[in-house]
Structures are given as structure tokens and as C-alpha cells.
């Protein structure tokens, strides 16, 4: 079962918390030698003023982490499931799995994996827009 993502809110999830959660999941699966690259934040578009008001934010930023590591296919599946369950991870937008060189003596062959994980964060700087009253003025 997949977890419900933590929605962006004023005073909500911070970028360093998201990175710490992803690192913790890698460590819990004993993934050594992995690499995490933070991509630049991007502003989400297409949200209405009412949606922003309900969330209590003016805008939403997508924080994107690119996680690259080598592991067995079983380990990759377990790690991916844990990322999906973590409320701090709003989306897994890409998964790429390639053959890797296997370590001598490994029963299961290693795969090189890249996972793009996203968090949705309240953009800092401006207050949330007022909620629509639903009234139509002439």
C-alpha cells in the first residue's frame, strides 16, 4: 500500500527534511556508494487560487532528488516501495534500471538504478491568496 503524501503547507516540510528522509531510506536498505543530486527547484503551475488557499500557500515548489545506486532487483523493489510509502515523498516521477557489473560471489546480479523522487513544498516569500467567496460581482 502506498502512503498518502504530505501536502505542502505554510511551515510544512523543509527541503533538508526531504533529503534526510531519502537518505534514511537508503541507509535502512544498506545502500552504500549511492549518489543523491538535488536538482533545482521548479515552481508548480496550473493551481487555481482556491487550491492555493485550501493548502494555505501562495505557490508550490517541486524539490527533485535524483538518487543513483547499485543493488539487486529485490533491494531496488523494496527501497522503491519504502519511498512510495514515505509521506514526505509526493511523487516518484522516474525510475530507470540498467544492468550493472555484479560483484564476485553475488547470487543475484546487480542493477544500476536511478530514481527521481519529488517533494512538494510551500514556496517561501508571499502569503497565500484569499479564498474565493463564490460571489459574483457585477
With contact defined as beta carbons under 8 Å apart, do 22 and 69 qualify? no
CA gap 119, 132 in Å, rounded: 27
Q: Domain residues for 46?
A: 15-122
Residue 91 lies in a domain: yes
- Report the domain count for the chain: 1
Kindly tell me if the per-residue pLDDT of 136 is higher than 50. no
> Considering the entire predicted model, what is its pTM?
0.76
Q: pLDDT tens for residues 77-123?
A: 999 999 999 999 999 999 999 987 655 565 668 899 999 999 988 88
Domain membership of residue 128 (yes or no) is no
CA 101 centroid distance within chain: 28
For residue 39, what are the contacts with CB-CB under 8 A and spacing of at least 6?
A: 64, 65, 66
- Whether 98 is covered by a domain: the verdict is yes
- Give residue 119's Cα distance to chain centre: 4
Here the CATH number for the domain that contains residue 87 is 3.30.70
Is the pLDDT confidence value at 129 over 60? no
Between 134 and 25, name the one with better pLDDT: 25
pLDDT > 50? residue 133: no
34-43, 69-78, 122-131 — most confident range: 69-78
| DSSP 8-state assignment for residue 57 | -
Q: Is residue 44 part of a domain?
A: yes
Question: CA 111, CA 97: separation in Å to the nearest integer?
Answer: 6
Contacts (Cβ under 8 Å, ≥6 apart) of 62? 41, 42, 43, 44, 118, 119, 120, 121
Amino acid at each position: 500500500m502506498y502512503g498518502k503524501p504530505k501536502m505542502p503547507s505554510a511551515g510544512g516540510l523543509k527541503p533538508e527534511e526531504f533529503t534526510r528522509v531519502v537518505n534514511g531510506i537508503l541507509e535502512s536498505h544498506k545502500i552504500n556508494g549511492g549518489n543523491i543530486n538535488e536538482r533545482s527547484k521548479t515552481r508548480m503551475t496550473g493551481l487555481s487560487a482556491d487550491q492555493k488557499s485550501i493548502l494555505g500557500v501562495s505557490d508550490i515548489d517541486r524539490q527533485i532528488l535524483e538518487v543513483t545506486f547499485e543493488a539487486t532487483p529485490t533491494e531496488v523493489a523494496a527501497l522503491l516501495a519504502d519511498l512510495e510509502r514515505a509521506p514526505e515523498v509526493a511523487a516518484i516521477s522516474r525510475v530507470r534500471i540498467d544492468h550493472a557489473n555484479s560483484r564476485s560471489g553475488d547470487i543475484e546480479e546487480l542493477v544500476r538504478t536511478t530514481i527521481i523522487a519529488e517533494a512538494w513544498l510551500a514556496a517561501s516569500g508571499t502569503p497565500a491568496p484569499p479564498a474565493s467567496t463564490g460571489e459574483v460581482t457585477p
